[in-house]
Amino acid sequence: MSGCRERSASAWPSRRRGPISSGSMTSPPTATPGWPFRPCTVDRGGSCCRRPSVTRLILPASACGNPQTIDGRCAWPSMFPESLCMVSAPDRAFDGSNPMSPCHGCHAGCCRAFAVPVTGADIVRMEQSLRQDFWEFVCRWEDRDGAISAGVVPQFLFADEPGTPFVICLLHEPSATFPRTTKCRFLREEPPTPTSPLGRAYCGVYESRPSACRVFPTKLSASGSLAVLHDVPTHGRANDASPAFQLCPRPWTPSDAEPVAAVQDLIVLQFELQFFRQVAALWNRAPGAWTDFPEFLRLVYNQRVQPAPSHADGDASAMRSVIPFPQPADDDQTDSLAA
């Protein structure tokens, strides 16, 4: 019996290629009550994080989630609410530096309870800023029932797992504070103390964190001009009472979010999700192997800046050869606003 097949980040050389780990992940039919994030489940013998490996560190079956499994499966909520453009923490909060923030002194249950989808832009930016390879922090999560994608995040198909849809997410690794559970690859833990019985934790790559970790718990308003807070439940796993998955120690208020950055981050995420869905559509026309995916992403994103066109139609022709960029939903409205 085995769980997720993982390796420590230090063991991953650049551009590693190798066999794909096996296993499967399935998702339940219902959402987490009272919360827009949807759950999914992982078979005890399955592999939620699938990427090439040569030498594997075999984790316990609970590595994909709850050691208190239900029907032999462990729960994995998605970090994305059902409506578009929602994800992680306002800029001044998640590193715990603001003593008034809900994140200050928190053990970071959200970084343990949720699968965190990433866009291609997140991946490229984090590779560059962290000087880490794709395989050190990215994995694919099986999403047959759309529990992780939730109609927001694109699903990808791969030749080595034909017919199985996946969502691209941040990698998890074992937690030292809460044995037999996992946490985000980048979460830094401090041991429990009498004043912090669950310990404290902070993001080790705060300045480079993905968009999903910049806007939680907000989403765009219907007009697209305001950030709206979601109510955060007390617990991130409906079927697991472990204190590891307790969420924010107090409700969020508008003053906890940066009034400018909160909206800007949501707008950027909206654009990048739309672009990433087009990337997925292009890839899924003729799916390649999972080992080929990082190079495909680099090829697409490295061509997002084009030279000045030599004639009127040059720009459009150049972009058609790469991937179509998202266009405003209502050109007439955009023109009227510009006027």
Give phi and psi for 191, each to the nearest 5: -65, 155
Q: What is the per-residue burial (b if ≥16 Cβ within 10 Å, else e) of 46-62?
A: bbbbbbbbeebeebbbb
Which of 49, 26, 78 lies closest to 238, judged by CA? 78
> What confidence score (pLDDT) does residue 319 get?
53
Mean per-residue pLDDT of the chain: 73
What digits encode the pLDDT tens for the residues 198-228? Answer: 999 999 999 999 999 999 999 999 998 999 9
Q: Is the pLDDT of residue 312 over 80?
A: no
- 290 pLDDT exceeds 70? yes
Task: Pick the closest to residue 246 from 171, 196, 195 (CA basis).
Answer: 196
Closest Cα partner for 103 from 192, 178, 187, 175? Answer: 187
Q: Which residue has the tokens 């139609």?
A: 313
pTM value > 0.85: no
**pLDDT tens per residue across span 43-87:** 323 344 444 432 222 223 333 333 332 333 333 444 544 332 223
How would residue 309 be classed by pLDDT, with cut points 50, 70 and 90?
confident
Higher per-residue confidence, 187 vs 316: 187
Q: For the chain, give every domain's residue range.
A: 5-302
